[in-house]
């Protein structure tokens, strides 16, 4: 909703700027009344296009479209956007510019406005595609230059690894395994986004999700996200059995603490996190395999979360995680039966 608000505001400013540009070509007087109507038309276009693009790009309702090959996905989104542009301009003509229907044909002016709005839509689509590739927070911080010098901050990290990937590869083959992994990560991405998680990286059969500490602790978002992933996979079990012959298992390690964030790279830039917090979260996920647990949380993080009646937390340890010199206290988390 915040992103939609930004799109509507930006579109209204574009509409406001469009008024004097068009006035200089068509030689009409640029009055305050005309300017606010152009701004309102821009907001109307931005609302239609922004809402449709966010629905098509982020919600479960359009998952089928995002699974299509890229040319078909772009064509589908373009067709929807073109129809919405025409509808928004038609509504704008009726509500804001009724004089457009007076004194002659309106076809050329309507086509001109459709083409202008279509160009703005292509820019919007480009920004949303870049945002989906590198993440909204990463794009924002790269533009603002926040991490061009190392920054210390508190973050929560979730390491999720698909279980028994070697056995899966022997069963499905390389291509089949990758198809299953892509399907799995696609399905849980909506869950992590819903709970404010930022996908940091995909590494083989593992995904790393992160939250700023305050956001991850708020309403237990980080832990509730893990439980929601389990619920989602339970709901999709029949789909996986039909397509792949089994439901993939997974393990999750959750930990939070201080890290240092910085932009790395030149030909491909990304924000990289350094520090013991990241290593500990990865080791907790690996320890889940040793003790056959699905979800384990460090005691340091769990003690900061509010009590949840929906989960059972079993103290584990302190344990000596691989590669660490000190013991770490953990909790094994399970969802209580309803």
293 CB contacts (<8 Å, ≥6 apart)? 251, 316, 332
CB 85, CB 114: distance < 8 Å:
yes
Output the pLDDT for position 295.
92
Q: What is the rounded distance in angstroms from the CA atom of residue 79 to the CA atom of residue 150?
A: 43
* Residue 207 predicted with pLDDT over 80: yes
Longest dimension (CA), the chain: 83
Output the pLDDT for position 268.
67
Mean pLDDT check: name the lowest of 49-63, 170-184, 187-201: 49-63
Q: Assign 170 a pLDDT band (cuts: 50, 70, 90).
A: confident
Task: Name the one residue in this structure whose structure tokens are 């792949």.
Answer: 244
Output the pLDDT for position 141.
66
Give the tokens for residue 124: 């919007």
The average pLDDT across 258-267 equals 80
Q: What is the rounded distance in angstroms from the CA atom of residue 158 to the CA atom of residue 228?
A: 14
* Dihedrals phi, psi of 21, to nearest 5 degrees: -65, -50
Output the pLDDT for position 132.
62
Query: DSSP string covering 162-209, please?
Result: ETTHHHHHHHHHHHHHHHHHHHHHHHHHHHHHHTT-EEEEEETTEEEE
**263-267 long-range Cβ contacts below 8 angstroms, 24+ apart:** 263/142, 263/147, 263/148
**What pTM was estimated for this model as a whole?**
0.68
Give the tokens for residue 15: 């509409």
CB 264, CB 299: distance < 8 Å:
no
Q: What is the rounded distance in angstroms from the CA atom of residue 47 to the CA atom of residue 330?
A: 47
Which comes out higher in pLDDT, residue 55 or 304?
Answer: 304
| Average pLDDT in the chain | 81
Q: What is the rounded distance in angstroms from the CA atom of residue 31 to the CA atom of residue 46?
A: 22
Give the tokens for residue 53: 């693009």
CB 311, CB 334: distance < 8 Å:
yes
Percent of the chain with pLDDT over 90: 19
Quick: pLDDT tens for 2-38: 777 888 888 888 888 888 887 777 677 778 888 888 8
Output the pLDDT for position 6.
82
Residue 31: helix, strand or coil by DSSP? coil
Quick: pLDDT tens for 106-128: 566 677 777 777 777 777 667 76
Task: Name the one residue in this structure whose structure tokens are 């309702």.
Answer: 61
Give the tokens for residue 68: 């299509």
Output the pLDDT for position 34.
82
| Domains of the chain, CATH where assigned | 2-134 (no CATH), 149-335 (3.30.70.1230)
């Amino acid at each position: 909703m915040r992103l939609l608000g930004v799109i509507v505001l930006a579109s209204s400013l574009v509409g406001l700027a469009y008024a004097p540009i068009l006035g200089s070509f068509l030689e009409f007087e640029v009055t305050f009344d005309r300017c606010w109507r152009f701004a309102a038309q821009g907001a109307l276009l931005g609302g239609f296009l922004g809402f449709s693009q966010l629905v098509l790009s982020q919600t479960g309702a359009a998952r089928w479209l995002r699974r299509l090959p890229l040319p078909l996905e772009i064509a589908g989104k373009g067709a929807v956007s073109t129809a919405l542009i025409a509808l928004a301009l038609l509504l704008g003509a009726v509500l804001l510019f009724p004089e457009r229907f007076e004194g002659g044909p309106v076809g050329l002016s309507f086509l001109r406005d459709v083409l202008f709005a279509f160009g703005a839509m292509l820019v919007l689509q480009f920004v949303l595609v870049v945002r989906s590739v590198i993440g909204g927070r990463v794009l924002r911080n790269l533009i603002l230059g926040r991490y061009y010098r190392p920054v210390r901050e508190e973050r929560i990290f979730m390491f999720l690894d698909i279980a028994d990937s070697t056995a899966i590869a022997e069963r499905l083959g390389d291509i089949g395994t990758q198809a299953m992994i892509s399907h799995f990560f696609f399905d849980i991405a909506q869950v992590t986004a819903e709970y404010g998680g930022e996908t940091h990286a995909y590494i083989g059969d593992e995904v790393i999700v992160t939250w700023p500490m305050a956001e991850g602790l708020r309403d237990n978002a980080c832990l509730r996200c893990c439980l929601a992933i389990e619920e989602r996979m339970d709901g999709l079990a029949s789909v996986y059995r039909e397509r792949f012959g089994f439901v993939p298992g997974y393990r999750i390690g959750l930990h939070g603490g201080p890290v240092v964030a910085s932009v790395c790279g030149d030909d491909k830039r990304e924000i990289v996190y350094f520090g013991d917090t990241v290593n500990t979260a990865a080791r907790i996920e690996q320890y889940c395999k040793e003790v056959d647990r699905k979800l384990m949380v460090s005691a340091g993080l769990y003690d900061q979360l509010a009590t949840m009646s929906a989960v059972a937390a079993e103290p584990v340890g302190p344990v000596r995680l691989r590669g660490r010199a000190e013991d770490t206290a953990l909790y094994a988390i399970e969802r209580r039966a309803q």
